[in-house]
Structure 1
Amino acid sequence: MTIGDKRKRRVPAWVETRSIDYVPAAERRGKVWHQAPFWFAGNFVLTTMMVGFTGPLLGLGVGWSILAVALGVSLGTLLMACHANQGPRLGLPQMIQSRAQFGRRGAVLPFMAVVFIYIGFNVFDVILAADAIAVVAAAPRSVSYALLIAAAGIVSIVGHDLLHVVQRWLTGLLILIFGALSLALCVRLAASGGVAMGAFAWPAWLAQGTAAAAYQLSYSVYVSDYSRYLPEETPAARLIGWTWLGAAGSALWLMSLGAALAGEQASPDAIQSLKRLGDGLAPGFGSLAVLAAAPALVGIMAVNFYGATLTGLSVLDAVRPAPRGLAFRVGGVALFAVAVWLAALGLPADYLASFHIFVALMLYLLVPWSAVNLMDFYGVRRGRYVIRDILLADGVYGQWSRPGLLSYLGGLLAMSPFAAVGAYVGPAAAALGGVDLSLAVGLLASGGTYWVLSRNGAVAAAWER
């Protein structure tokens, strides 16, 4: 018995010991329908509801905002769910699969963008979770952040199985509490004449739809982290369907709720809006609803820490072979936990504007990667990869792959004229009256470029040893 085997034996069976390595067939487990509650609870957080504020804050009517949410959520979640299918086929975490398109070191470019997104999400999540707890128990911000981050870190260290269990239990709790809140809102809206379509403007409508799509697409960077333990023969249609159902269902629900609440207020606030809605149903129910949102935020923070650690280890492994196993996941989680704590302390109290800019930046960073990754998996290689070589330092996928890198950078350049982020409005977006078409442009430019560069064995020719 090797030293590594002895160490594994000392780790409890319920603690995950794998990190960025391949999951062999003997360890595959789980049921495909588990993806639905996992992503339902993972997406049923206050940050999701805040995405629904986008349209009303830009003057868009509530009805039009909800329609934009529905279309954006449907598209973004479809792309995300298609990435989920890669998990059981390859048995690897999501981002390390990108080595097949970008090369071992070339993949560091999208890796770094994704690490930024993980940290950014957890900063907003921990602030909202602390705000939720402060409704019933006041505590210094630094202490609240530390306790919440520690709880999320512990769950992420235990790993895959506990994350799934936590998300399944949270799904039932959230449906009960937010079902009552939504019913109360529906009764109130019905008494006042229902939901009106309201004012319409193309820039605001597309901004709301794009924000919803970008938010859903952000889950693509780790969706197969939680499907890679499923048996390889898991039917693709069922896996995509269950993932889409869970993630889209919670997003459509919460973003629509956010749009309806924002339509009633000049300056919407996620915590106070929910509290007022719940207290209108029964005294104290608002505080209970807000408090129930905190565990969901801790759950998705744990998911983000888990994914950030796997991606960070993939970055290190691109430079020199990184050791696998639990100890290095613990170190990675601790490092990212400190980064999130410090960033949360430094973020201004009025973080809503920062959040909307962050969501827009996610779109520009992730769309080209998603287009390249999906085109490679479904259009070029059609799921056929040499798993061993993805993990080897001298594998056939090489250190740098021009088709992937050129397609990613080309997509970013193509999106830039069509972008409208904060104070920046690209020339094409300005000519269109502020309409942002960068999502469609990025998908077509990056995916199309990769397809052209990968034809007739061009991918094989681009490998560099």
Structure 2
Amino acid sequence: MTTTNPGSPASSLDEHGPERTGHVETRGIDLVPADERGGRPRQLFAVWAAPNVSYLSFVVGATLILMGLTLPQALGVVLTGNLLWICTGAVAASGPAAGTSGSVISRAMYGVVGNKVVLVLTGWLIAAAYLALNWSAASVAGIGLAGRFGLPDSSAVDATVICLIAAGTLLIAIFGHATIVRLYTALSVLLTVVFIVVTGYVLAGTDWSYAPAEPLKGPALAVALGTGFTIIASTPLSYSNSPDLARYLPRDSSPVAIAGWTALGAYLPSSVFTMVGALAATSLDMSDPEAALESILPSWFIPVFVLAVVVNTMTNNGMTAYSASLSIQSVGVRLARIPAVLIIGVLGTVMTLYAILVFDFLTSVNTMLQLVVVVTGPAMAVAVTDLVLRRNRYNGTDLLEQRRGGPFWYHRGVHWAGFLAIVVGGLTSALWVNTSFWTGPIARALGDIDLAIPSGMLTAAAVYWATTRVLRSIPRDREPVG
């Protein structure tokens, strides 16, 4: 299926083609021809670094200390939880192999019809929720900056700030892949400089001898460690869209290099700045992260920091909105990519307005990050398992074929191995999750320990592997065509 002009060249890296930096990308989910590909895997480092030089990392890192962990425990959770970026990197390798978006590649896992059901949840609703989460972080900072410039504290001003941030983000998604690759390279440097300055002030005031008033022990410590791991690991698990940002690379690009540069680009800034958030909480009251950080910064630098927070959020959500628009097309909605971007943007904006004007920000962050893993963990496990079983041999032409009896039609359009794996994995994860909104019965029985991620991912991977073997739905000698 294609929703773009099939005759238009669309090389995001060819400055002589119409789809280049500063020009609106017209390609949707259709196949990227070999002669329109370019670039090297190392470009992915900056693409993934820019959105992860993040204010939200400060917030999440501080949460670990607020939960009662010691500094070494919090830092250990950060380093361990972020290892899940390896999964994001591995899945990215399927982009150049297939030459199409991740939302199309997942037809191999769920079937043409089954994939549509999965994408409604993972590609639309969860994407919109992440848009809202990140826009909430930026809006809190932007609203504070508006107050510094004398604007009144009112819902109208708050809503205006939110809508302006959302509009800027959607522009990035509309311009598309070429602009993202070039723009994010520069922004990753600028954002890193700003956040390193903030880090310097945090380190100057860090209480290296910090210890909780009542150190956690036994079951209470296990609960905090499990919850902290879930919160940290939820971010890399949400990026099953990573093939979208690699699909323009040449097909013969090294899968190891693609996986490595993607994972490293995200892991380093995410780990570093989450740890900085934990360090900040040893000496600052991070229950209000924005006010706490601004209290240690020089007054002239505060607007720079706030703008960096807003820009970072726009880079993060620009990627999310871009991929979500492709998911809308993959479901079969007959929309060009730009209207699809606008639809997901409106949904995310509405959710942001609710989160900021109605709900508590920190509660929104922690609850959402813990709940989404019930879906994103099993989905990521299925994607990685499928890639391993197929040895990353995906055929974009076959994947885009939607006719009955096609290569990925399976049984009545559903690959029951994938569907069963994500459902059983999700239900298992729900039994182990522990949030303020929902605590699974197994987690409750074991003292509220949150093991939602390992239980859900291991179950989904095992079910998918076993079922594909029983159904013989992934022939071991399957080779890509074309």
Q: Are 2:370 and 1:368 equivalent residues in the alignment?
A: no
**Cα contact 2:174–2:341 (8 A) shared by 1:** yes
- 1:350 equivalent in alignment to 2:360: yes
**Matches of 1:135 and 1:369, distance apart in 2:** 37
Matches within 5 A, 1:74-153: 74=83, 76-114=84-122, 115-138=124-147, 140-153=157-170
Structure 2 counterparts to residues 286-325 of structure 1, below 5 A: 286-316=302-332, 322=334
Corresponding residue of 1:385 = 394
**Residue 339, structure 1, aligned to residue 347, structure 2:** yes
2:445 is aligned to: 431
Matches within 5 A, 1:9-48: 14-48=23-57
Alignment match, 1:217: 237
- After superposition, the C-alpha distances for 1:358-377 in whole angstroms (9 at most, x for unaligned) are 11122111111111111111
Q: 2:70 is aligned with what amino acid?
A: G
The reply on whether 1:174 has 2:168 as its aligned counterpart is no
| TM-score (structure 1 length as normaliser) | 0.89
**Would you say the 8 A contact 1:278–1:287 is kept in 2?**
no
Per the TM alignment, residue 450 of structure 1 is displaced from its structure 2 partner at its CA by 0.9
Is the alpha carbon distance of 1:381 and 1:446 closer, same or farther for their aligned partners in structure 2, counting shifts above 3 Å? Answer: same
Residue aligning to 2:271: 252
- Alpha-carbon distance, 1:266 to partner: 5.0
- State the secondary structure of the residue aligned to 1:425: coil
Amino acid at match of 1:291: L
Query: Structure 1 CA distance, aligned partners of 2:9 and 2:85?
Result: 37
Deviation at residue 196 of structure 1 after TM alignment: 5.2
Q: Is the 8 A contact 1:44 1:250 kept in 2?
A: yes
Mapped contact 2:45–2:264 kept (Cα < 8 A): yes
Query: Equivalent of 1:396, from 407, 415, 432?
Result: 407
Report percent identity of matched pairs.
26
Provide the C-alpha distance between the structure 2 equivalents of 1:372 and 1:262, rounded to a whole number of angstroms. 37
Q: CA RMSD in A?
A: 2.3
TM-superposition CA deviations, 1:70-123 (whole Å, max 9, x none): 10011x111111111111111111122111110111012321222112111211
Q: How does 1:269-280 map onto structure 2 within 5 Å?
A: 269-279=288-298
Q: Deviation per CA, 1:138-197: give whole Å up to 9, x if none.
A: 4512222222222111121111010112211111112212112212222322xx445658
Provide the C-alpha distance between the structure 2 equivalents of 1:148 and 1:412, rounded to a whole number of angstroms.
Answer: 33
Partner SS for 1:403: helix
Quote the residue 2:246 is aligned against.
Answer: 227
Residue 444 of structure 1 corresponds to which residue in structure 2?
458
Cα distance change, pair 308–459 in 1 and its aligned pair in 2 (3 A): same
* 8 Å Cα contact 1:8/1:17 also seen in 2: no
Q: Is the alpha carbon distance of 1:5 and 1:119 closer, same or farther for their aligned partners in structure 2, counting shifts above 3 Å? A: closer
State the distance in 2 between where 1:437 and 1:149 align. Answer: 34
Mapped to 1, the partners of 2:474 and 2:42 lie a distance apart of 37
Mapped contact 2:98–2:395 kept (Cα < 8 A): no
Q: Structure 1 counterpart of 2:315, which letter? A: G
Counting matched residue pairs gives 443
State how far apart, in whole Å, the 1-side matches of 2:430 and 2:261 are. 34
- Indicate which of 151, 154, 167 corresponds to 2:171: 154
2:223 to 168, 184, 203: 203
Instruction: Identify which of 186, 203, 211 aligns with 1:186.
Output: 203
Secondary structure, in 3 states, of the residue corresponding to 1:137?
Answer: helix
- State TM-score, norm by structure 2: 0.86
**Structure 1 residue 289: deviation in Å?**
1.5
Structure 1 stretch displaced more, 140-149 or 160-169: 140-149
Letter in 2 for 1:87: G
Higher helix share: 1
| Cα separation, 2, equivalents of 1:430 and 1:350 | 25
Question: Mind listing any 5+ residue stretches in structure 2 that lack a counterpart?
Answer: 11-16, 152-156, 476-482
1:7 Cα deviation after fit: 7.5
> Which runs of 5 or more residues in structure 1 are unaligned?
none
Q: Distance between the aligned counterparts of 2:260 and 2:394, measured in 1?
A: 24
